[in-house]
Amino acid sequence: EDQVTQSPEALRLQEGESSSLNCSYTVSGLRGLFWYRQDPGKGPEFLFTLYSAGEEKEKERLKATLTKKESFLHITAPKPEDSATYLCAVQSSVGNEKLTFGTGTRLTIIP
């Protein structure tokens, strides 16, 4: 069974203090690893898709990286508007198309 574990559960940072969020996964053949951002009371907002180990993608202050067992979401010089829950999900290349999600990291950026 596919599994995703995210750490830490919650993270508080000062504005401008860079850090990384971790997503460890086990999957029967990785088709893609996805990062989403979710604000309170809203649906997940797509950020990145990573397909193979060594791949990196960037968007503004966010950079996602992928190895064979985990992914990192690096946040550089965060701002208060980056506060949200960040969700990691995997999609297997075997069988159906469902996403298996972790429980997320709740990020708070303090001004």
Q: Where do contacts with another protein occur on this chain (CB under 8 A)?
A: 4, 31-32, 34, 36, 41-46, 49, 87, 89, 91, 96-104
The closest of 84, 75, 3 to 44, measured between CA atoms, is 84
Shortest gap between Cβ of 71 and another protein (angstroms)? 16
Of 20 and 93, nearer to another protein (C-beta) is 93
Shortest gap between Cβ of 62 and another protein (angstroms)? 16
* CA distances in angstroms from 27 to 6, 23, 31, 39, 89, listed in the order given: 15, 13, 9, 27, 11
Of 36 and 107, nearer to another protein (C-beta) is 36
Shortest gap between Cβ of 17 and another protein (angstroms)? 26
5, 21 Cβ separation under 8 angstroms: no
Q: Which long-range contacts (CB under 8 A, 24 or more apart) does 42-45 make?
A: 44/87
Of 17 and 39, nearer to another protein (C-beta) is 39
